[in-house]
């Protein structure tokens, strides 16, 4: 009788058992999937704002570019507030941000079409931005801590669903605006709030991310509010590396924010419908999402540092000639450009978390928040300048220069060793 058969059967049984664990109610894969779905919901709400700026200016009888100050408020609310939230959440348990933030975002952004003045629109944008910002540090910290030895892959999956949301958001907004006007976005509450409730129910048993000294690990039970745990000394931040990380991220994110906004104004000026504007913007954000997924599927740790500088460099010539595209060629160009920029987004977030292992939420707020805020401010300033000189198509050369500068600065970032299993 063949004695290897029991060994083979035992191996098969272990494999089946492992597969079952991946789908158990307490599986980290299940929690990652729920977090990614929640990220999709949050960012589809955030993405609805991309095509609405010229529409909102028309509805509120504001001159072209007259709402750029509101765009700056929106950008600041969704970005810099993440740092303050991250600093607080790295010291005190804030799991409630996973549902309270998205709820505030859904309620506020869905009601922007009801605003009757720029100040009312600004208030809704700020509240919605704060809600969206509140989710990201906690969500990203939990996603990364679920798989500390595969952090870039986990962040790629988490980020991919966010970019999918940002891809679907503009098209959704464009279709709704064409049929019902921006007022129709209020129906987003009817489907967004119930979906949020379902995801929150699934995440109730998810492990908490530790606070204090070990902010890079998970706790099986929710942490007890104990001063000895939450006020342990923190490792001093490497401010030089953090500053360089911010510069690299802001320059890389500048075209990711600027391309959709510039295209909205250019296509609106050429009498393009809101649906067309949304479709082109969705192609760009969809490309970023595909790039993030490619990172999860193919990018090895030893390639991450190369990817940080190589892909923005490859996107530079496409950005430089983007104003020459039209029709399906433009859709193809923005999609490919988004893909090249998207590959390195999860690597950048993972790099920040590894650079600051004792401040996961702060690291996430810097890479997913503050860098976006700086990029957003630069985009608004550049839009104002190029519109003032009636040279908006030339702004893509500015975006190309930013991508090139980001690529060059990557060579100055410190090398981070591969994480070891604990």
- At residue 94, the 3 state secondary structure works out as coil
Check residues 5 and 284 and name the one with the higher pLDDT: 284
Q: Which helix (H) or strand (E) holds 209?
A: strand 208-209
| Residues 294/418, Cβ–Cβ less than 8 Å | no
Asked if residue 210 is part of any domain, the answer here is: no
Reduced to 3 states (helix: H, G, I; strand: E, B; else coil), residue 219 is strand
Rounded-to-integer distance, Cα 151 and Cα 145, Å: 7
Over 70: is that where the pLDDT of 414 sits?
Answer: yes
Q: What is the mean pLDDT of residues 398-419?
A: 84
Q: Give the tokens for residue 75.
A: 């950008």
CATH number at 342 reads 1.20.1250.20
**In the predicted structure, residue 8 carries a pLDDT above the cut 60:** no
Does residue 14 belong to any structural domain of this protein? no
What is each CA distance from 264 to 18, 55, 56, 271, 402, in whole angstroms? 48, 10, 12, 11, 20
**Domain tally, the chain:** 1
Angle (CA) 95-43-29 rounded to 5° is 55
Please report whether residue 9 resides in a domain.
no
Higher pLDDT, 61 or 240: 61
Strands 218-219 and 208-209: antiparallel
Percent of the chain whose pLDDT exceeds 90 = 18
Which residue shows structure tokens 């890079």?
A: 216
pLDDT at 326 over 80: no
Answer yes or no: is 273 within a domain: yes
Q: What span, in angstroms and rounded, lies between the C-alpha atoms of 39 and 55?
A: 26
The confidence score (pLDDT) of residue 237 equals 58
Kindly report which listed range (5-14, 69-78, 341-350) carries the lowest average pLDDT score: 5-14
Has residue 143 been placed in a domain? Answer: yes
* Residue pLDDT, tens place only, 243-255: 888 888 889 889 9
Residue pair 274/178 in contact (Cβ under 8 Å)? The answer is yes
Q: What is the pLDDT of residues 89-116, one digit of tens each?
A: 777 777 888 899 999 999 999 999 898 8
Cβ–Cβ under 8 Å, residues 28 and 150: no
Q: If you average pLDDT over residues 326-344, what whole number do you get?
A: 83
Distance CA 338, CA 377 (A): 20
Is the pTM higher than 0.75? The answer reads: no
Q: Are 39 and 167 in contact (CB under 8 A)?
A: no
Is residue 15 in a domain?
Answer: no
pLDDT digits (tens, 9 = 90+) for 166-187: 878 888 888 888 888 888 899 9
Domain that holds residue 62: 28-204+239-412
Using alpha carbons, select from 215, 212, 214 the residue that is nearest to residue 229.
212
Please report the pLDDT score of residue 401 as a whole number.
Answer: 95
Query: Exposure of 309 by Cβ count < 10 A (0-12 exposed, 13-18 middle, 19+ buried)?
Result: middle
- Whether the CB-CB separation of 260 and 47 falls below 8 Å is answered with no
User: Quick one: pLDDT at residue 189?
Assistant: 92
Backbone angles phi, psi at 225, to 5 degrees: -75, 90
Whether residue 316 is predicted with pLDDT greater than 90 in this model: the reply is yes
Q: Is residue 4 part of a domain?
A: no
Asked, for residue 216, whether it belongs to a domain, the answer is no
């Amino acid at each position: 009788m063949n004695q290897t058969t029991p060994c083979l059967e035992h191996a098969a049984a272990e494999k089946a058992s492992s597969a079952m664990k991946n789908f158990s109610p307490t599986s980290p894969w299940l929690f990652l999937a729920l977090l990614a779905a929640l990220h999709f919901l949050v960012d589809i709400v955030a993405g609805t704002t991309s095509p609405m700026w010229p529409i909102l200016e028309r509805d509120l009888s504001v001159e072209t570019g007259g709402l750029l100050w509101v765009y700056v408020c929106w950008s600041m609310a969704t970005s810099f507030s993440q740092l303050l939230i991250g600093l607080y959440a790295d010291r005190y348990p804030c799991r409630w941000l996973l549902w309270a933030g998205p709820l505030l975002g859904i309620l506020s952004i869905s009601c922007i079409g009801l605003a009757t003045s720029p100040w009312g629109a600004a208030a809704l944008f700020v509240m919605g931005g704060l809600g969206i910002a509140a989710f990201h540090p906690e969500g990203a910290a939990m996603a990364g801590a679920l798989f500390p030895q595969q952090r870039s892959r986990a962040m790629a999956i988490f980020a991919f669903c966010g970019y999918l949301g940002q891809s679907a958001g503009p098209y959704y907004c464009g279709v709704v605006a064409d049929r019902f006007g921006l007022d129709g976005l209020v129906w987003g509450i009817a489907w967004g709030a119930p979906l949020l409730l379902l995801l929150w129910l699934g995440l109730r048993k998810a492990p908490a991310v530790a606070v204090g000294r070990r902010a890079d690990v998970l706790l099986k039970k929710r942490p007890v509010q104990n001063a000895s745990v939450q006020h342990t000394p923190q490792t001093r931040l490497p401010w030089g590396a953090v500053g360089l990380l911010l510069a690299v991220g802001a320059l890389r994110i500048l075209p990711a924010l600027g391309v959709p906004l510039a295209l909205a104004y250019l296509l609106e000026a050429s009498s393009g419908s809101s649906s067309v504007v949304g479709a082109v913007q969705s192609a760009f954000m969809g490309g970023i999402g595909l790039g993030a997924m490619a990172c999860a599927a193919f990018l090895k740790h030893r390639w991450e540092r190369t990817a940080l500088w190589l892909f923005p460099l490859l996107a530079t010539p496409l950005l430089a000639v983007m104003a020459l595209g039209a029709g399906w060629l433009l859709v193809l160009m923005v999609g490919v450009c988004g893909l090249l920029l998207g590959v390195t987004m999860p690597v950048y977030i993972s790099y920040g978390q590894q650079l600051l292992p004792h401040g996961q939420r702060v690291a996430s707020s810097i890479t997913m928040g503050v860098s976006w805020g700086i990029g957003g401010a630069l985009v608004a300033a550049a839009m104002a300048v190029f519109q003032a000189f009636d040279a908006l198509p030339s702004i893509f050369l500015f975006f190309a220069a930013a991508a090139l500068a980001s690529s060059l600065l990557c060579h100055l970032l410190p090398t981070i060793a591969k994480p070891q299993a604990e």
